[in-house]
Structure formats: C-alpha cells, structure tokens
Structure 1
C-alpha cells in the first residue's frame, strides 16, 4: 500500500487550521500537537528537515504546557 504524502500534508494543514479556531487553549494545544506530529511525518517523508525540526519543536512546547496545566493545582 502506497502512502500519498500529499494527503498527509493536507491532513496536517487541516488539523492546524482547526486548532486555531478553538477557544479552549488546552484543546487548541492538543489538536495543534496532533497537527505538528502529522507535519513531522510529512516532512520526514519528503526529507524536509526544516519542517520536521520546526514542527517537532512546536509539539514539544505544546506538550510542555499541557503537562504543566495538568500538574497545576485546581484554580
């Protein structure tokens, strides 16, 4: 089965666009992280390391703040 790289790029773009339409910051970060991981896969398949590195970094930042929010005492 052949993977159509272009579809992975479209999925990643759609996830990022959806994430920026969300009002809840935690949901935004979660969906954005999924989009970033999809872009990492897309960049890897295209051998586009700037895409892999930048989206990998953004995913790590999102995960950091999501975990920080989970560990924070209830407000």
Structure 2
C-alpha cells in the first residue's frame, strides 16, 4: 500500500505553504506564511540531512523577518 514516512509529510506541508504564500496579495501575509514554510523546510532539511535545503531556507527566514520588520516600522 501507499505509505509515506512522517517526515516526508513535513516536507509536503512546507511545499504547500510556500506555494500558498505566493498566492497572497498582502506582502505581510506572504512573508509570514513563507516564513512558516521555510521553518518547516529547515526542520525537514536537518532531519533528512539535506543541509543545503536547511541553510537556504534559514537564510530566507532571516530575509523575511528583516522585511517584515521594515514593513511594520514604516507604518
């Protein structure tokens, strides 16, 4: 039967959140949902020892947080 390792579900959820974030019209919502997806990808990447995935998504998290901070500061 079709069985998926539980950690793979984390990767699928992360992918879904990244895709959903790209449909947002609000840049703040986009960055928040994208950050959550990236956090899941960091977790996933560390567990499956895909360190480039974890490192790239950690960098994206920092970029998202920086721009969320800038957006909130300008309001």
CA-based RMSD of the aligned residues comes to 1.1
Runs of 4+ in 1 over 4 A off after TM superposition: none
Inter-partner Cα distance in structure 2 for 1:69 and 1:24:
11
Question: 5 Å matches for 1:1-75?
Answer: 4-72=6-74, 74=75
Shift of 1:71: 1.2
Aligned residues: 71
Inter-partner Cα distance in structure 1 for 2:18 and 2:26:
14
TM-score (norm 2): 0.90
Long gaps (5+) in structure 1? none
Long gaps (5+) in structure 2? none
